[in-house]
Structure 1
Amino acid sequence: MKHLLKPSLLILTCLVVAACSNTKYLKPGQILYTGAQVKINPDTTGKIDDEKNVKGTLESKTRPRPNKSILGLRPKLYIYNLAGEPKKPKGIRHWLRTKVGEPPVLLSEVKLSYNNAVLTSYLLSQGYLQSVVTGDTLVKGKTGKAIYTAQTGNRYKINAVNFPKDSGNLANVVNKFKQKTLIKKGDYYDLDVFKNERIRIDNDLKESGYFYFSPDYLILQVDSTIGNNLVNVNIRVKDIAPDAGLKPYTINHIRIYPRYSLRRDSALRKLTPEVYNDFEIYDDRNTFKPRLFDRLVFFQRGETYNRKDHNQSLNRMVNIGAFQAVKAEFIPLDSFKNNQLDLNIYLTPLKKNSLTFSVTGTSKSNNFVGSEVKVTQTTRNLFRGAEQLDLSVSGGFETQVSGQSRGLNSYSLSGQAKLTFPRFIVPFYKPKSTTAFIPKTVASLSYELLSRGSLYNLNSFKGEYGYVWKENQYKEHTFNPISITFVRPTVTRDSLKQDSLYAIPGMRSTLERQFIIGSSYNFAYTNQMEDNRRNNIYFNGNIQAGGNVWGLFVPKNEFGQKTILNVPLTQFIRFEADFRDYYKITRNLIWANRLNLGYGYAYGNSSSMPFVKQFFAGGTNDIRGFAARSLGPGTYRSPQTAIFADQSGDVKAMLNTELRFKLVSVLYGALFADAGNIWLRKEDKGGVDPVTGRVDEGRPGSGFKFKDALSEMAISTGAGLRVDATIFVIRLDVAFPIRKPYLPPGERWVFDQVDFGSKAWRKDNLIYNIGIGYPF
């Protein structure tokens, strides 16, 4: 520890000097503002409920905010002072002072009277109806702070809630739904709850046809004179509310302009419309089939207006992906004395054809770097029903730039055709969807060639037919009743190379032809779109099955195997679950966690899971201190890992934790730890290869045993930098292992071997990962 004492003292001394040096730049008479402190009822022994949080909220509402600090230091202010006054409005000094640094916040900028009013107003809104806040300043040397003393009094509670008592239609609607009120007897007085109650009532009225009603037409009168710190809340409609807001409206004409533009506005309105059901469609070019609007517009002529149909119609027209602009216009018939609305819907289609081109650079932790080029041709409204056809081709190239297998090149070529119908297409059945989200039927065909240099090629053909639908904004389902995959590997005819490949344990399953026909279902849940939540979650669950139901129709060959095109049908079932949690400690400090579990089971026609459906561990989005696909299975480590890492398994368990924090501007940092591994469901005990006659020693330690799983986990840790420009994220992580499962028991923790000063250790252990986007 002695060798650490001097550096630690030096660092501490530097930090103290940096903290003190900020005040020396102040001009005479200037006082550096260090923040606000709130004292609640300091002269009484009584405490209010949740005093700590109330105090924190009050302090956060004071203005101005002091200079940002970390552990009592103000690095941004220090950079501002250190940069000095730039001579030119450009250059590094100007950038440091204006972009990275921040000017000092002075005590003279604090407006006590303004803050007193803001804090008092907040306490009143929380039910402290007798509260008073007074502020003062405290100066010490060249720094000063503001101290606010809040005398709150008792917090008032709700005694009774009274709704309108008249017998009008509007009052009847309000009273019909009063059991849903947010204001409950016995709850504390809370102004935010009162505001939300007005919005709730407005929503109920909108659902009942009151199109022109507004929450501002409601008043909640509070009577605090009844004593015992109780209040009565009386809800009524303001006398100044206009007549138009006090009556329900019905839908009259529904006019749809499917090919609208301002340039053609007058010409379109002169057209003779095509009448379809309740719609009048103004489109002389027949751009869309009229029946499409049955699925997009929920209103019917003569029905009472309601907000649900309004929102669902707009959401469907926006989410269908056929229009670049959507507008719904409700116009009162003749005058506000009438209670009917004409609905005009203006739709501007997207261009029928578009071409997108993208170039992506990649660098992976298995020492492969490369790029991919992708071109996609999109054709919209293919059959005049808002269908979309996407044709894409892509090509990628990778080369290993370090490690023992330097010069091992890899490339991929792929093509895909995907046709999307904005509705369910089910044989002999026409399901109806009444949600705001468009259900989709997707059919796709794809081909991919993956060439691992001179070792082997994988040709993969895939066809899928399925459905995608959203239950609500949080839940999405994907069901593919049929998915067909055919994988045909090819190996160089050189027998020596074949022997060298087959010598790698588990490689034979990679190089087998595979025919997979089955089904899959995927469920996803997320609330990440709610930015105001402190805790956001994401869950994705997937189940795939191959050769079960569809396998009943496949005949057996003379050896009792079910085959298609002389290829044995693969039979398996596979489960995977991915759970993520994002906890906002502060606005710029997030603790992210992920749990990823997977299990595959081969049966019947198959003795092992197909290679393309197995699990892998290690890599840039996985366990970052280990090379991609190099971990496992279990405690096994292939002697060819440094040359060729392609280890796979039937069982996977992975846990990631990451602390993400903002450094400056769009630059973010991260500290992380990853743990996990893969296993075979049953240990590979080897045997004699039936083709080459080679004795396969198997993979000892590769089998999964629940009681041994924790002791066989790999663990790595590291740090990273991210450039988060919102529209894209570039990530650089450096990680190293601290637990290696392939070492003997008792020697797997390698903390004591960590030596950043050793070139040999860095070469063998540091893994650099460059990626696009966050790892999870």
Structure 2
Amino acid sequence: MKLRFYIFAALITIIFFGSCVPPRQLGENERLLYKINLNGVEKSDPNRITALYQQRPNRKVLGSTPYLSLYYFGLKFFNPEKKQKQIEEARIKIDNRITAAGNDSSQVNRLLRKRERKLARKSRRLEQGNLFMALGEPPVIFDTTKASATRQQIAAYLLATGFFQNHVTYTTTEKNKKVTLNFNINENVPYTYSQVNYVIADPAIRHIIDSTRAQSLVRVNQKYNEETLANERSRIELLLKNLGYYQFTKQFITVEPDTSFEQNRVRLGIIIANNNDSLPHQVFRINQVNFKLDASRERFGLVRDTILYNNIYYLAYEHRLSPRILDKKIQIRPGQLYSLNRTIATQQQLTGLDMFRYINVSFLPTDSSLTAIINGSPSRRFQETTEAGISYSAGLPGPFANFRLRVRNIFRGAELLEIGLRGAAEGQFSVEDNASVITREFGANLAFIFPQFLIPFRTNQYFSGFNPRTRLNLNYTNINRIEFNRINNQLTFDYIWQKSPQLQYVFTPLDITINQTDIKSSRFQESLYVTNSNQELTTYGKSFQDAFVSSMNFSVLYNSNNYNHTLDATYLRLYLEEAGLVGSMFLNENYNNLHVFEFGRFIADYRRYLKLSRTNFLVSRVNFGIARSVKQNDYLPYDKYFYAGGGTSLRAFLPRRLGPGSYFSQQYDSLGVGITNADGSPKRNIYSEQQGELLIEGNLEYRFHIFNVMNGALFTDVGNIWMLTPDEDRGDKAQFKFNRFYKEFAVGAGFGLRFDFTFLIARVDIASRIYDPTNQPGHRFLPTSSDSGVPGTASEKAAYRNLRLNLGIGYPF
């Protein structure tokens, strides 16, 4: 309670002082631009209009301006004259050393570079001020010139979107040297097209345009819009470039609107002119294709060897890549009409091989023919990648490291060999004495990736445009915990193809995993059995039995974002898995003391990245998963269940400890008797993992820029797991029921920092529970005034009730 009070008090203090903008800090004729109002926008996009503002008020938090207050606070301790004096002293000092160096050109050049770096660094400090000034924002002084320029840009935007009779004015109101700027807009009636006429001198192009009029972006009764017209010009240019018009550009297309015939109507003329010499545009065919495989290497006195394969010339000093493989990736062929789409596809397909640092496709025109020249710069054959970082869990830091070696063209057929090693340590709570302990994980994998489908029949011609690949992967994982040691051996055979850079499919017809677990702790061994029974394993205990899992799966991944998550984008991953088809046909239920599993599993992960401004995003996520054994009263392997809580799930809850449903695990003594709190309520065991067969999660996160590489986030997490099959050990509370599941969603919220260092993103999240469905009724909304259902010792209470800290690498989603 005290911690939450202090946080609340600090927030109120920041807001109070942030709302105080001292007028005495401003000059006599200076006014602070405090707010901008946009009035009268009915049919236009207000976001497009606000993007035209020449000035923007200082950022606000809950109506206050803390960034401005922080800047003023730093300004009190900043002495620009002193900084300028330091710059001059540094310049004089280095200039004296340059003079002393005399004719030593090496020393002089080194000192010149040093002077440039040092003065640039000190100049930035002079410009940005001290740390508080850099974290804050300087006051935005209202400028009438910029307000007038903004008014003109808004009027021009409205004109470009069909509001030819718009009227834009601005007014200001002032109070305590704070200016509120009001833009008042009268859009009036937009102009629409009464006619759309194409005027084309070239009869061949006229025929093409007439036959594709259904694809036109401009239609009668549509509102006039210059952006749509620009897109129509680009559409026509691409259409013609894909039909052999290599030298055609949209500069030959002009647009002439005429508003003189009807009120609020436009007669639109789209004119496609001939060449500058008034001759029809030339259609080009590809005469020859030359592929220079080592364009970045030049050996004087040597001539590249040439191989002709399938009408394409391959040139290299030493042929290390099979022309047969490269031929499947090249979409441009002799005799074809020039096509920009096929040119881009060729470049993408060859780049997707990961054999070249870059691929460039150019054309040499001769009369009506083209010679295609593909230049490739080979990548290094051996490439090493090392990653390291740290996570934070159960009050302990956990370092991790990954090493990957990639060997290219191992069999001279553009194959890839990947060797990976990984190691990690992670803090977890022990079931022995509830202490924080380190869990160690070590893994290795060996993968072969082939640039085509390895199948006994011919489909590569159909899939050649989808960057088909086959991956054979061997994976070994060793998890060493204080309670058990678990070894996973996995073999997968995958077919991978991409319809576009954003859309990828993976079909795995063979996924074989052998899990072997060695229980090291007698206390943990006891926890795997039903209470007061030494014979019957719990559902959780059964999942630790040695297992043989043979499955096939299919996944679809659509991701329109980039690595740094800076685009307005959508992410969707669908995953379907079926296990046991091979095992049930050829193996007994227990094969060599390995339990053979049969189950189905489905996961849907949807994320929406909504870009509110250049640096502000609202990110939402819905994660759904369901897994069910095919055999009645059977169970799932340990790693096929779903778990809730942790840094990428519900961040206010302990990792893998939430749920299922409203169930919580009670602590028992050595005799199997349940332990209770002082008020008689069951004492919670927060240290045992809880698994479920159904997962429903939702996350909402507002991301914003703070300073330099530092970004902030406010988030809310909602979700839980449930069991679908009867669980005698955990009872009815763990089951999914339609009439109550919505009451069993756990809720947490918090604040986070992200440090974007370009090569990695470090994340710190602090979260607090708001609603815990596993608490006793009446104590589920937090904070609660009672300790009912909460562990009684000070260390347990701290682990369960206080704010939770999560450290990680990358975004949580």
Q: TM-score category by the smaller chain? A: 0.7 to 0.9
Q: Retained in 2: the 8 A contact 1:460–1:486?
A: yes
- The aligned residue for residue 603 of structure 2 is 576
Distance change in 2, residues 1:740/1:547 (3 Å): same
Question: How far is 1:255 from its partner?
Answer: 0.4
Matches within 5 A, 1:28-67: 28-34=28-34, 49-50=42-43, 53=45, 57-67=48-58
Deviations 1:57-88 (A, max 9, x none): 44542323343344554333333333224333
- The aligned residue for residue 745 of structure 2 is 713
Q: Retained in 1: the 8 A contact 2:202–2:274?
A: no
- Percent identity of the aligned residues? 25
Question: How far is 1:564 from its partner?
Answer: 3.4
Gap runs ≥5 in structure 1: 41-47, 687-697
Moved more, 628-637 or 271-280: 628-637
- The aligned residue for residue 768 of structure 1 is 805
Question: How far is 1:724 from its partner?
Answer: 3.2
Amino acid at match of 1:83: G
Question: How far is 1:634 from its partner?
Answer: 3.2
Distance change in 2, residues 1:701/1:252 (3 Å): same
Question: How far is 1:330 from its partner?
Answer: 0.8
Quick one: distance in 1 between partners of 2:329 and 2:754?
A: 41
Quick one: distance in 2 between partners of 1:409 and 1:152?
A: 66
- Correspondence for 1:189 among 183, 200, 224: 224
Quick one: distance in 1 between partners of 2:417 and 2:736?
A: 44
- The aligned residue for residue 298 of structure 1 is 331
Distance change in 2, residues 1:625/1:167 (3 Å): closer
- Correspondence for 2:341 among 308, 326, 335: 308
Matched, 1:250 2:289: no
Deviations 1:506-553 (A, max 9, x none): 4531431100112111122233359999963322111111112x1354
Quick one: distance in 2 between partners of 1:11 and 1:171?
A: 67
Matched, 1:737 2:772: no
- The aligned residue for residue 677 of structure 1 is 720
Distance change in 2, residues 1:301/1:244 (3 Å): farther
Q: Retained in 2: the 8 A contact 1:173–1:208?
A: no
Q: Retained in 2: the 8 A contact 1:577–1:597?
A: yes
- Aligned-partner SS, 2:575: strand
- Aligned-partner SS, 2:341: helix
Question: How far is 1:588 from its partner?
Answer: 4.0
Quick one: distance in 1 between partners of 2:639 and 2:745?
A: 23
- Correspondence for 1:82 among 63, 68, 73: 73
Q: Retained in 2: the 8 A contact 1:433–1:439?
A: no
- The aligned residue for residue 108 of structure 2 is none
Question: How far is 1:218 from its partner?
Answer: 0.5
- Aligned-partner SS, 1:628: coil
Quick one: distance in 1 between partners of 2:478 and 2:278?
A: 69
Deviations 1:637-694 (A, max 9, x none): 22357574222122222222233333333333333332322233222225xxxxxxxx
- The aligned residue for residue 131 of structure 2 is 96
Deviations 1:577-614 (A, max 9, x none): 22222333444443322222222221349821111211
Quick one: distance in 2 between partners of 1:746 and 1:173?
A: 73
Matches within 5 A, 1:360-439: 360-364=389-393, 366-400=394-428, 404-406=433-435, 408-434=437-463, 436-439=465-468
Quick one: distance in 1 between partners of 2:688 and 2:547?
A: 21
- Correspondence for 1:519 among 552, 556, 561: 552
Matched, 1:125 2:125: no
Amino acid at match of 1:656: N
Distance change in 2, residues 1:201/1:241 (3 Å): farther
Distance change in 2, residues 1:468/1:97 (3 Å): same
Distance change in 2, residues 1:527/1:177 (3 Å): same
- Aligned-partner SS, 1:719: strand
Moved more, 284-293 or 79-88: 79-88
Give me the TM-score of the superposition, normalised by structure 1. 0.86
Question: How far is 1:186 from its partner?
Answer: 0.6
Matches within 5 A, 1:143-154: 143-144=178-179, 152-154=187-189
Amino acid at match of 1:348: S
Question: How far is 1:632 from its partner?
Answer: 2.7
Quick one: distance in 2 between partners of 1:553 and 1:131?
A: 75
Distance change in 2, residues 1:435/1:584 (3 Å): farther
Distance change in 2, residues 1:204/1:754 (3 Å): farther
Quick one: distance in 2 between partners of 1:466 and 1:439?
A: 11
Amino acid at match of 1:82: F
Deviations 1:599-632 (A, max 9, x none): 2221349821111211112211112222112123
Matched, 1:661 2:690: no
- Correspondence for 2:266 among 223, 226, 231: 231
Distance change in 2, residues 1:628/1:528 (3 Å): same
Amino acid at match of 2:552: S
Question: How far is 1:135 from its partner?
Answer: 5.5
- Aligned-partner SS, 2:318: coil
Matched, 1:630 2:657: yes
Amino acid at match of 2:445: Q
Deviations 1:460-510 (A, max 9, x none): 110000111122344321110011000111134x86774465468445314
Quick one: distance in 1 between partners of 2:260 and 2:703?
A: 51
Q: Retained in 2: the 8 A contact 1:514–1:570?
A: yes
Give me the TM-score of the superposition, normalised by structure 2. 0.82
Deviations 1:551-578 (A, max 9, x none): 354144xxxx3x4334232111112222
Matched, 1:68 2:59: yes
Matched, 1:651 2:644: no
Amino acid at match of 2:707: V
Distance change in 2, residues 1:123/1:257 (3 Å): same
Distance change in 2, residues 1:607/1:276 (3 Å): same
Distance change in 2, residues 1:621/1:17 (3 Å): closer
Quick one: distance in 1 between partners of 2:624 and 2:228?
A: 41
Quick one: distance in 2 between partners of 1:96 and 1:626?
A: 35
Moved more, 630-639 or 248-257: 630-639
Quick one: distance in 2 between partners of 1:721 and 1:530?
A: 17
Q: Retained in 2: the 8 A contact 1:37–1:59?
A: no
Quick one: distance in 1 between partners of 2:188 and 2:650?
A: 55
- Aligned-partner SS, 1:193: helix
Question: How far is 1:367 from its partner?
Answer: 4.2
- Aligned-partner SS, 2:190: coil
Question: How far is 1:253 from its partner?
Answer: 1.2
Quick one: distance in 2 between partners of 1:770 and 1:244?
A: 67
Quick one: distance in 2 between partners of 1:499 and 1:754?
A: 32
- The aligned residue for residue 112 of structure 2 is none
Matched, 1:199 2:234: yes
Quick one: distance in 2 between partners of 1:33 and 1:555?
A: 76
- How many corresponding residue pairs? 735
- The aligned residue for residue 450 of structure 1 is 479
Quick one: distance in 1 between partners of 2:195 and 2:624?
A: 52
Quick one: distance in 1 between partners of 2:202 and 2:595?
A: 76
Quick one: distance in 2 between partners of 1:445 and 1:732?
A: 34
Amino acid at match of 2:769: P
Deviations 1:196-233 (A, max 9, x none): 11011111111111111111211011111112221111
Question: How far is 1:440 from its partner?
Answer: 1.2
- Aligned-partner SS, 2:199: coil
- The aligned residue for residue 749 of structure 1 is 781
Q: Retained in 2: the 8 A contact 1:450–1:459?
A: yes
Aligned CA-pair RMSD: 3.5
- The aligned residue for residue 361 of structure 2 is 328
- The aligned residue for residue 611 of structure 1 is 638
Matched, 1:722 2:765: no
Quick one: distance in 1 between partners of 2:749 and 2:426?
A: 26
Moved more, 20-29 or 147-156: 147-156
Quick one: distance in 2 between partners of 1:656 and 1:191?
A: 39
Distance change in 2, residues 1:611/1:253 (3 Å): same
Distance change in 2, residues 1:446/1:13 (3 Å): closer
Distance change in 2, residues 1:32/1:684 (3 Å): closer
